[in-house]
Chains A and B, each alone.
Chain A
Amino acid sequence: MSTEVMIQAEGLTKEYGDYRALDDVSFEVNKGEVVGFLGPNGAGKSTTMRILTCYLAASRGTAKVAGIDVFDDPLEVRRKIGYLPQRAPLYQDMSVWEYLKFAADMRGLDEGTFKARMKKIVEICGLAQSLGKDIGTLSHGYRQRVGLGQALVHDPPILILDEPTSDLDPNEKAEVVKYIKQIGKDRTILLSTHNLGEVEQACARAIIVSKGRVVADGALDDIRAKSGGARYIVVIDEKSALSGKAPTEAEVEAALKTVPKVQSLRDVPTDDRAHAFELVGGREDDLRAELYKLCVEKGWIALELRREAKALEDVFRDLTRGDELVARGLSADDEDDEDDDEDDEESKD
C-alpha cells in the first residue's frame, strides 16, 4: 500500500463560543485506506468532516486533503472529494436521475462522461429501478444510495462519508456496508459511524474521538490490544468429571483464582449445565496453557476454553465513557458509586 497521505488534520480545534467541539485533533489517512471515524454523538466527528470538506473553518489548526490546504483552495479540495453528509440530505422534488445530473453539472462533467459514470454508479449503488423516481418517494436506504451515488459521480479519489448507515434497517445497513467495501477497493475513505460492527466489517483502521479529542488511532487489533487485557472464557462441565466427582461452582471459582496473572474473574450466564467464567489477563500473556493444565490436574471436563481480544465495542465504551457521563450529568465518581450500588444489589440477591 502506498503511504501517500491523502487526508491530514493537524491540531484542528473548533470553538463555538465557550464550547470547544474539537480540541487539537490530529490524524492522517493514507492513500487506499478505509478508516473508521468513531465516536459517540457530539464527539466531533461531523465537525471534523465539515472542516475537511470546507463547509466550516477551524478555529485553529490546519487540514490538507490530497495535499491541498482546505483553507487556501477549498474548490480544489471539493473537486477531489466525494462527500455524503449525515442523513443524506437531498432535493426531494427531483428525480434520482435529475439529482445526479445536477451534481454532475455542478462538477463540470460533460454529458458523455456523466452517462459513462452513471453506468458504474447504477451498478455499484443498485439504483437501476429508482432512476426515474422522485427522491421524496424513496426509502431512507435508497436515499443513502443516491447520496453515495452523488459522492461517486465524479469518480473522486477520496470519499468522506458521515454516518452513511444511520436511520437504515439492518438489511439496508448491510447493503450500504457492502457498497462501501466495494468502492473502498481503490479509494481513500473516511467513514464516520458509531456502529462498531460496520467498522469491523469495512475498515482495517479506526480513529476514535471523544469529547473533541482523538483517544485512539490505529489498526483495529492494535486498538483492541492497547485498550485492555485479553479475555478468556472457561466453561467446565458441572455434571461429570474425568476423575472424582463433578466440581461445584465455588470450587471452580476458587481454583481459577489461583492461576497466575489473572486480573479479574466473574461468572457468566450459560445455557449449558456448566460453570462458565470470564477471566481477564494481561494483554502480553497467554493463560490458556495454565488453564488447560489446571483442568487436567483437577480432572475437570473443559467444554470450552478460548482467548479473545477485547471486543471493539468494549474498547469504544472504555474510551468514550466520559461523553456518556457528561450527557447524563454525572462525574466518574458518580458512575463508580452507581456500579458499587449495582454490585451491592447483586450480592444481596
Chain B
Amino acid sequence: MPPTLTIAKRELGSYFNSPIAYVVICLTQLLLGVLFFFVRSFWQVDKASLAQLFELAPFGLCLLVIPVITMRLIAEEKSSGTLEMLITLPVKDWEVVLGKYLGALGLVGILLVSTFVYPIMMFVFPWKLGPIDFGPVWSGYLGLSLMSAAAVAVGLLVSAFTKSQVIAFFVTLVVNFFFVFMHWIGDHVAGPQLGLVLSYIGFQQHIANFARGLIDSRSVVYFVSITVVSLMVAFRALESRKWR
C-alpha cells in the first residue's frame, strides 16, 4: 500500500479508535433530523424533494463537523511530537498532507453516506411519500461532497499552521463561516457589484446549483480550486519547518 493510503487508513482508524467519529456521526444525524423535520417544517413542502437538506447541511458541516474533524490533523501531531516520527519515516511531505486529508475526508464521506438514510426511508422504504426525482439528489450529494472536500482542505491548511487544536478549530470555523455566509453578506451588506462577487466566492450559490440538479462546471472548478490551493499551501506550511 502506498504511504499516502497507509496514512489515510491510520487517520481514519484513529477517528474510530476515539469517540470522535461516533459522536460526530450520531449527533449530526440527530441534529439533521431535528432541523429537517421540526425547524423548517419539511412536511409542509408540497413536493418530494431534498432541497432543504442541501440548504441546511452546509451550515452544520462547515461550522461544526468539519472544524471538529480537521482541528487535530496536523496540530495534534505537532503538539504531541508524532509529526517528527511520521516525517522521518520514508515518506514525502506531500504524501503526509494528502494522506491526512484523505483520512479526514473519508470520515466526512461516511457521514454524508449515512445521511442518505433520509431519502431512502422517506421515498423508498418504509414510507413512500411520493415520487422523488433522484437526479437532484445525486447532484446535491455531489455538491455537498465537493464542498466538504474544499472545507476539509481549508481545515487541514489551518491545522498545518498551529500546534493548538483549539486555535485550529476556531480559525477553521471563522474561515468557513465567511464561506457559508458570504452570499448573505453580499446580499445585505455589499453593493450590487461587490455583492455578485461575494455571492460567487461563498459556498451557498454553488451548492444551490447542485441542489437544483445543475452540475455547473464553474462550481466544480470553484470547489476543486479551493481544495487544491489549500492542500498546496498546507504542504508548504509543513515543509517550512525545515527552513525556519
Contact = CB atoms under 8 A, between A and B. Distances in A.
A260 to B, nearest CB: 56
Given A102-B6, A102-B10, A105-B1, A78 B81 contact: no
Nearest to B93: A74
Interface stretch (B53-61, B84-92, B120-128, B220-228): B84-92
A89 B84 contact: yes
B114 interface: no
A117 interface: no
A86 B85 CA distance: 10
Interface in B1-36: 1, 3, 6-7, 10, 13-14, 17-18
A55 B1 contact: no
B87 A55 contact: yes
Contacts of B243: 57
B241 interface: yes
A89 B80 contact: yes
A91 B88 contact: no
B82 interface: yes
Given A93-B14, A94-B14, A102-B10, A83 B90 contact: no
Nearest to A50: B84
A79 B90 contact: yes
Contacts of A81: 88
B17 A85 contact: no
Which range holds the interface residue count of chain B?
20 to 34
A222 B243 CA distance: 37
Nearest to A147: B85
B242 interface: yes
Nearest to A17: B244
Q: Which DSSP category, helix, strand, loop or mixed, fits chain B's interface? A: helix
Contacts of A91: 10, 14, 82
Nearest to A154: B90
A87 B17 contact: no
B84 A85 contact: yes
Nearest to A104: B6
A294 interface: no
A90 B1 contact: no
B126 to A, nearest CB: 38
Given A85-B88, A106-B91, A90 B82 contact: yes
B241 A75 contact: no
Contacts of A50: 84
B3 A106 contact: yes
Contacts of A108: 90
A248 B14 CA distance: 74
B84 A55 contact: yes
A54 B80 contact: no
B175 to A, nearest CB: 27
B6 A106 contact: yes
A105 B6 contact: yes
B242 to A, nearest CB: 4
Nearest to B2: A108
Given A87-B81, A93-B17, A16 B244 contact: yes
Contacts of A150: 85
B6 A57 contact: no
Nearest to A56: B242
A90 B89 CA distance: 13
Nearest to B76: A91
Interface string B195-235: 00000000000000000000000000000000000000000
Contacts of A103: 89
Contact of B85 (A89, A94, A98): A89
Contacts of B87: 55
Contacts of A56: 241-242
Contact of A54 (B13, B88, B244): B88
B243 to A, nearest CB: 6
Contact of B90 (A57, A78, A89, A147): A78
Contact of A90 (B13, B85, B91, B241): B85
A342 B84 CA distance: 45
Contact of A106 (B13, B82, B90, B242): B90
A83 B1 CA distance: 22
Interface in B102-122: none
Nearest to A58: B242
Q: Which 6 pairs of residues, A with B, have the shortest CB-CB distance?
A: A89-B81, A93-B17, A57-B242, A78-B90, A53-B88, A106-B89
11 contacts: A56-B242, A75-B90, A75-B92, A78-B89, A81-B88, A85-B81, A89-B81, A94-B10, A103-B89, A106-B90, A107-B90
